[in-house]
A and B are shown apart, each in its own frame.
Chain A
């Protein structure tokens, strides 16, 4: 179903609320997603690749097709190097804990989500050292500072493609080039960008790409993982759990090949059925078309919010330099109050507070108070943006 079709699902929820929390998870999903999942439950339903019968093979085929679609989306050559897990956090944990050892040094930015910060802080106890390169007040990053932070024991650079707080896009290609030039590995957190900004593992020199299925890929929750580039051998990346894989059953040691080494236990084939349907939908719509639509709405939202007296915007304030995630505060009103009143009085659902990213808020100057985040998605309209801006205007008027 095309985005501009008259009967396209609106961004209003079943109970009539305006959903502006797409940076947390996209909602609604394309109708194909639920249909794909129901079809899997009703027509396939078997355990993928575990048994010899045709339904087991059919389920495995669906999982494999999802690997192929993910590999194609991110410019990865080998679909077997797409490792599925729960979400982007799962993928990041596999990459960080699987790679890093005592004595290793990692470079990251101050705009990272706790999905990166917490594993790195945990790894600090194991002797892994981290340099957090400071970002600018709008969340942007000077790639030269990343290069300047390289030490003799630096092994990895890990970067958030775009901020989950204010949408600011970080210079992935430049940092990828720096990493490659110095022989370092490059891990990208694509939570906020996969499906809305182009990502090419080869051109961007990404060795490890952590992704989630339930945000801009429009799949269900519980899908995501890590795509591993050709420079890494399985022996260099330790699995974070061991168990049955349906392969090499005669052996009681973990397989040493992709993807089985990292995918013990029955996978979320139901979720992947939904993700595959979502990826097919995304391909049909075109990432560029979705980005264009979101960028235009974001520009409108930034401009209109910026005109309201008492509203403070965070980030680049330039729609071309960010995803369609907009952060702001109303001076004199706590962000939590704004969120509650938008929900109760205006039927608008958004996210307030620190967004699991205290370091990013420090960079933006909104720590510890946090801010209000409007996360636009493919299904939002200009009407939605105007409605939300009107609501903020009314709240801001009260404070003055």
Chain B
């Protein structure tokens, strides 16, 4: 399975995204940020790579500002 991760400022924002993903029936998991992407000790939202565009649009629709969506 190919994954991507949504990098966010805070766990609170990650959880806000989680509630959106849940509502939309999209597959996701909160995981620690992979070290090669950031030195941050925080969380990110892992999604299916194929959902990247859908998620991008969804976040824009809800005016949620993220750092980036990166492929894993």
Contact = CB atoms under 8 A, between A and B. Distances in A.
**Are A and B part of the same complex?**
yes
B38 A250 contact: yes
Interface residues of B, number: 18
Interface string B26-60: 00001110000011111100000000000000000
B9 interface: yes
Contacts of B32: 51-52
A346 interface: no
Contact of A255 (B9, B15, B39, B43): B9
Given A52-B43, A57-B30, A259 B12 contact: yes
Contacts of A260: 9-10, 12
Given A80-B12, A260-B12, A249 B41 contact: yes
Interface of A is mostly: loop
B42 A60 contact: no
A259 B9 CA distance: 10
A282 to B, nearest CB: 21
A209 to B, nearest CB: 18
A51 B30 CA distance: 11
A258 B18 CA distance: 17
Contact of A247 (B9, B16, B19): B9
A257 B10 contact: yes
A30 B29 CA distance: 34
Query: In this complex, which of A60, A250, A259 has the most chain B Cβ atoms within 10 angstroms of its Cβ?
Result: A60
B10 A48 contact: no
Interface in B1-27: 9-13, 15-16, 18-19
Contacts of A397: none
Contacts of B41: 50, 52, 246, 249
Contacts, number: 65
Given A52-B32, A249-B39, A61 B10 contact: no
Nearest to A49: B11
Interface string A44-80: 0000111110000100110110011000000000011
Given A52-B32, A64-B16, A80-B16, A249 B40 contact: yes
B1 to A, nearest CB: 19
A266 to B, nearest CB: 13
B15 A247 contact: no
B12 A64 contact: yes
A283 interface: no
Contact of B16 (A79, A245, A249): A79
Contacts of B38: 250
B12 A249 contact: no
B40 A247 contact: yes
A79 B32 CA distance: 22
A246 B16 contact: no
Contact of B10 (A57, A247, A250): A247
A4 B9 CA distance: 45
A248 interface: yes
A247 B39 contact: no
B12 A248 contact: no
A242 B57 CA distance: 35
29 contacts: A48-B11, A49-B12, A49-B42, A49-B43, A50-B41, A51-B32, A52-B31, A52-B32, A52-B41, A52-B43, A57-B11, A60-B43, A64-B16, A67-B12, A79-B12, A80-B13, A245-B10, A246-B10, A246-B42, A247-B9, A247-B11, A247-B40, A249-B41, A250-B40, A257-B9, A257-B13, A258-B12, A259-B10, A260-B12
Given A52-B32, A64-B15, A260-B10, 9 more contacts: A49-B11, A49-B43, A52-B31, A52-B41, A64-B16, A248-B42, A249-B39, A249-B42, A257-B13
7 nearest A-B pairs in the assembled complex, by CB-CB distance: A52-B32, A49-B11, A64-B15, A249-B41, A250-B39, A247-B10, A60-B11
